[in-house]
Amino acid sequence: MIYKFFTVFTLTALLLLSYAFCQKIALNGEWKLVNSNGSISINAKVPGSMYTALWENKIIDDPYYRFNDVTTRWAAYDEWTFSRQFEISDAINKQPNIELLCGGLDTIATIMINGQVVGTANNQFRRYVFDIKKYVKVGTNSISVKFASPVKYAAKQASAYSYVVPPECTAPAQNGECHANFIRKSQCSFSWDWGPAFPTMGIWRNITLEAYGDVAMRYVAPQPLKGMGAAEWVLVVYVEFGLTDDKTHTGYLDISIEGIPDISNSRLIHINKTNLNTTALVPIGKGAVKTWWPNGYGEQPLYNIIAKYSPMKSYSQVMKKVRFGFRTVEIAQNPVPSSPGLSFYFKINGFPIFMKGSNWIPADSFQERITPSYLRRILQSAKDAHMNMLRVWGGGIYESEAFYSICDELGIMIWQDLMFACAMYPANTDFLQNARQEFVHQVLRLQRHPSIAVWSGNNENEAALAQNWYGTKPKFEAYKKDYLALYIDTAKDVITKLDKSRPFIGSSPTNGVESEREGWVAQNPADTHFGDMHWYDYSADGWSWKSYPRTRFASEFGYEAWSSFETVAKVSVKEDWSYYSNFSLHRQHHPNGNDQMLKEAAKHINLPTGDDEVQQFKDLIYVTQINQAMGVKTEVEFNRRMQSLIVDGEGGCMGSLYWQLNDIWQCPSWASIEYGGKWKMLQYYALKFYNRTIISPYIEADNKTVSVYYIEDKLPMKLPPHDHHPDTNLKFKPRDGAKGLYDVLMDVSVDDANQVGDSREPEAHSLFIDVYSWDGTPSKPLMTYQENFWNPQIASTKVMDFQLTEEAAKAAGCTSLSHCFLHFYLDNPDNYGPSNWLTPVELKDAQGMKKANTKIIDVKHVEDRTFSFTVTTDAIAPFVWMEATGIQGRFCCNGYMMVEASIKHMFYAWEDTTVEKLQAALKVTSLMDIYR
């Protein structure tokens, strides 16, 4: 009898708890999609857009196929309604609160439940929560979300505005749409110079019905801040609640870290509509947690914080768990000796770190097609190339939770732009209030991620205004007022109040605190003495270091190259396979881009010859990838050399983020990774130029002196006090913590230095320089020089220089400078360590270069999806390029100068394959093969 009573009591209590706790109904999945006149009625998946639904139902072809970005544009001018039915149980209907949570609506939407309007939306980047208690009923219910054309909406908003907000339209080459700046939607969905216009409409994030008792927990945003005294850290935890009634709810808020019982905080709180948030402070003692580090500097430990609210008068306990990490970030902007400006570098956990990386754009025009596994592949490719920072560019989207979580795990820091790019923006009350809600949501959603290092107000808008890109000069003060209202009075106000764990900067590029001193719009935002810089010059010699600015931080630079033939062929037909076909010109959204790529390459190498149009297209693709890889390599090495140099007040570069990492579709672009994940030659070069240790030779401005720099990521590092001259002894701060004479960057204690997991002890090195003739025998240099040195205590230092003259060439066995080149390697040529090469003359002027007979032999399965093979050659072979057509994966290295008779390689497949399939797919090319 007692047992039966206990059982009944327990079941009753569980039912009460089930009733009281938050209950959710996921509305993702199958919906119906109808256009404005009902002529199209199809099934659609949510999350998703009308484009993917139309494609999956065979109303349109693949949107990326050939010219379909234009031929399917009609869909962006129509209206589309997503609808479905859902069930409400009696238990859910009895809950005091029932709300609809829309994680992302793209963009101009009207939401209806059972035929009644429950709300509207006008911002792709906000989360919308609607109280639908009075609209739902027990049994079957209906929901519909009607989307208006974003193109028509933007045009209508622009027309109604009291003055022109430029630019009004995109460049004709982009085949885009106008007035993207008047709608809070991904700006590149109206086109960009590397991407198509697909003005999507749809439910693009999760949509959920939520029923609960007292309150719901909407955000848990932890901020780890450095503590004082016994507390190594103070964890500031912001918790925000949701409710629908007018009552004051009282209960206990408990904060804890999963797996660490000694860290917790509990207190009584009161919640009502005027007081929906609270902040808890959790002190954390020394050694209780581990510090999160960027890739290459230590581990990335992550912790789960649990926030639990227990009401005093009910069982409706709510809980939320989020993952975060402990680290500090600041941007140091300090006086620099012998310079009129300020430094600009990131200090992570108190240490200055040179940021190596690239820029991130949306991985697809249709976000619903992006899987976490695809994101991980691209981001892992960044980590494999030793990158520690990506800039999420401001013309795309605030990325998914999966994106930032993967970056947390991989140690890739994020420079996070707000989603405004290359435009002026309206600043009326409605626009600013809408933007404010966007900023609040995104900061509270994302600030828990240790990977996010900085909030940046926009992409290039400070420079656009200051430099009159869009004809704003006659009304400069009016547009500046709008600029300040949006980025400073609104964005900065929201971000700096909500997030103390990372800095905010007004724009990128910016002069940082100098821009702030000048009223947030600097007279010259491209001043090399301050902040970060974007730099492009397609008329310059991209293979010469002399073309590049000595900047504090290079956050954008790069060159275009075509995606591989394998990638382009998937969305084209044979008639498209020529360099100036209608298709090729249509895919090129950068004005004169196809011509620019060939002109850049022709400065250095002869262009392909031959009568086969398709083969020439393939060869020209190869040439553009060579040019891109060499140009970015030259600038990255220059940036890395300059981190320890100040020349004429410029230099001290502490970041190199090339444009761009990934592609949005199959096209010519600045990306190093093609749409689908295939690596361009540039990505393979990044494996080397972003390696922790590199050897960087170059020819000085006198055109006869070769200087060789040894560059290594290390902590601490030091800027020299004055202009560099060949006989200058560079000053550095010793690792034992003793103060150096010129303490430019930072003070680092021995205890702090010991925290760095990857710090190194001094090592002895040998630099070898092989002299090869172009018509010589692989693995048999004419002469080898050796220079021994200890690795220096600064990040970048010259280890040797020598004269490059005709007399020196003849002494090494060359008939002339044009007959030979130099190959550099560190310590051991057999260990795949740092290596590099240098030519005294342009490759097109080199004498004696022979066509190499390169072969791939001895393909073997090593383990899992890893294979080995050997490349052989009978002649010196520049830009050896391997492909495994039809098999997804990457090589250990590619695009290199082959001076050995044979090299063993590895291929890492991303899918199951066999030795036989790989052997059939492998192909190797080198430079002389393109002259037919």
DSSP string, 493-538: HHHHHH--SS-EES-BS--THHHHHTTSS-S-TT-TTSS-EEE--T
Q: Are 201 and 80 in contact (CB under 8 A)?
A: yes
Residue 903, φ and ψ in degrees, nearest 5: -135, 130
- Catalytically annotated residue among 514, 556, 674, 883: 556
Q: Are 694 and 713 in contact (CB under 8 A)?
A: no
Give the pair of three-digit tokens for residue 367: 């976000």
Residue entry with tokens 């190596």: 356
Residue entry with tokens 């789960």: 304
Q: Are 407 and 375 in contact (CB under 8 A)?
A: no
Outline where 872-924 has alpha helix (H).
915-921
Q: Are 400 and 368 in contact (CB under 8 A)?
A: no
- CA-based torsion, 512, 517, 518, 523: positive or negative: negative
Instruction: Please state, as a whole number, how many other Cβ atoms lie within 10 Å of the Cβ of residue 821.
Output: 25
Q: Are 576 and 582 in contact (CB under 8 A)?
A: yes
Active-site annotation holds for 556? yes
- Which whole-number Å values give the CA distances from 283 to 204, 233, 798, 855, in the listed order? 39, 6, 46, 63
- Which whole-number Å values give the CA distances from 667 to 369, 608, 691, in the listed order? 18, 21, 28
Position 880: which residue type?
V
907 has which bridge partners?
867, 891
Q: Which of 672, 704, 708 is nearest to 690 (CA)?
A: 672
- Catalytically annotated residue among 368, 399, 460, 650: 460
501 alpha-carbon distance from chain centroid? 20
868 has which bridge partners?
860, 906
Separation CA 324–CA 419 (nearest Å)? 24
Q: Are 358 and 390 in contact (CB under 8 A)?
A: yes
Q: Which residues contact 740 (CB under 8 A, 6 or more apart)?
A: 718, 731, 732, 733, 734
Separation CA 635–CA 354 (nearest Å)? 15
Instruction: Please state, as a whole number, how many other Cβ atoms lie within 10 Å of the Cβ of residue 27.
Output: 18
Question: Percentage helix, strand, coil, to 5, in the chain?
Answer: 25, 35, 40
- Which whole-number Å values give the CA distances from 544 to 376, 604, 838, 841, in the listed order? 35, 11, 11, 12
Active-site annotation holds for 460? yes
Give the pair of three-digit tokens for residue 289: 């947690």
Query: Sheet holding 896-898: strands in order across?
Result: 896-898, 877-884, 922-925
* Catalytic annotation, residues: 460, 556
